Amino acid sequence: MYSSRFDCTESAVEDTGRLIIAAMATVTVHIDEALLEKAGKTLAKRGQTLDAFLASELLRLTDGELHSQEYQELMASLKHVDSGGKFTREEMNERR
């Protein structure tokens, strides 16, 4: 079951010498207590917090979709390009 509560707050995040203001959301989820405890122990061994883990997983989940969308847009913008046909490996690696 998924449930969420979003309380947006602003927090300062330092990123490679730049100061970035990011809106952070507080999310409430319903997770089995035993699973949460087991996950907490595993994350503690990794030196990672549950917040950091969830944020990285959500980023990984959405990052793939963005790359796919960008790829589709690039391919659509290059529809007019004609490579001249198929090439053999030798032809592609030929030095001129």
Q: What is the pLDDT of residues 13-48, one digit of tens each?
A: 445 566 666 677 888 888 999 999 999 999 999 999
Query: How many residues does this entry show for the chain?
Result: 96
- Taking the C-alpha atoms of residue 83 and residue 48, their distance in angstroms, rounded to an integer, is 48
13/24 Cα distance (integer angstroms) = 11
**Number of separate helices (H) and strands (E) present in the chain:** 3, 2
Q: Please give the model's pTM, rounded to 2 decimal places.
A: 0.48
Measured between its terminal Cα atoms, the distance across the chain in Å is 61
| Residues 15, 5: Cα–Cα separation, whole Å | 27
Supply the pLDDT for residue 21: 62
User: Per-residue confidence at 56, pLDDT binned at 50, 70, 90?
Assistant: confident
Q: Is 25 helix (H, G, I), strand (E, B) or coil?
A: coil
